[in-house]
Amino acid sequence: MGTTLQTEAALAEPRHIGLGRTILAYVELTKPRVMELLLVTTIPVMILAQGGFPNIWLILATVFGGAMSAGSAAAYNMYIDRDIDARMHRTENRPIVTGEVSPRGALVFATILGVVSTVWFAVTTNLLTAGLSVAAILFYVFVYTIWLKRRTSQNIIWGGIAGCFPVLIGWAAVTNSLSWAPVILFAVVFLWTPPHYWPLSMKYQDDYRRVGVPMLGAVRGQAVVGLQVILYAWATVVCSLLLVPVAHMGIVYTVAAASSGAWFIYETHRLYHLAIKGQDVSPMRVFQGSITYLTILFLAVAVDPLLPF
């Protein structure tokens, strides 16, 4: 990527820091908070695939491999986006920008994580799981970060597919196959990603405009974004209920999906109504609420197969 002299000048010179801080800087390259959200979908799907609690070593192996895979994709993302990260308030303290990690160090780290995670999955689970992990990394790096992010406001819709792969990985690790249940949950995460991320883009719209990244919240008015958030939230909840007949889910999942979904939809409608009235929309309320919704939904996915009714 051709970076301008001005952008390169915005990046800090490499810094000499202690071992402890260096380790933390490399951990920050993996975007731990994003990784947590991705991995919280993996274990429940493994329980659903097993119809009970899988072997603990298989769970640990899958979570460890998933963490390395997601961390690799995140580190590649920070390496590629280091030019715009240096000019955005939200990302100006990332390790490459501050000089705590060199661009070359980040690139090597991302590559090592990607290779090790692939070999790890192949050895500890199966080749299908390893292949899905590679596909997730490649999709996030090449399709989202390099191709879509700086070109279209639809970036997060299609780019969000990479965040859906942990669902397939969890199922494949247990069954060495795929079926309609993980496909539905894949679609749930796919549809959930826009109403999760677009409120964040509303919050940081000035950042995105400054660097020319056409996130929807930066290129469209709040009412337009709010309406899109509503539509995708409704689609997410409807899709989540399809799992009831397909996977024969019980009362716990059904009630949790319907009630948490209703609350999530309410929050998106609230955002929209405040937007059309020109009032403070508090987009982070929907952003945080979307995380709570997904957590409740997948917790129900995990609990439902363990109950005797």
- Rounded CA separation 64/117 (Å): 8
Residue 4: predicted pLDDT: 44
Calpha distance 292→309 (Å, rounded): 26
Class of domain 179-309: mainly alpha
For 134-144, what is the mean pLDDT?
Answer: 96
Q: Are 113 and 135 in contact (CB under 8 A)?
A: no
* Cα 148–Cα 89–Cα 138 angle in degrees, nearest 5: 30
**Position 16 pLDDT exceeds 80:** no
Evaluate whether 239 touches 167 at the Cβ level (below 8 Å).
Answer: no
Quote the mean pLDDT of the chain: 93
Which residues does 143 contact at the CB level (< 8 Å), separation at least 6? 158, 159, 161, 162
**Cβ–Cβ < 8 Å for 188, 238:** no
Where are the chain's structural domains? 20-177, 179-309
| Assigned CATH class of 20-177 | mainly alpha
pLDDT one-digit tens code per residue, 259-284: 999 999 999 999 999 999 888 888 99
Confidence (pLDDT) at 279: 84
The band of 6, judged by pLDDT with boundaries at 50, 70 and 90, is very low
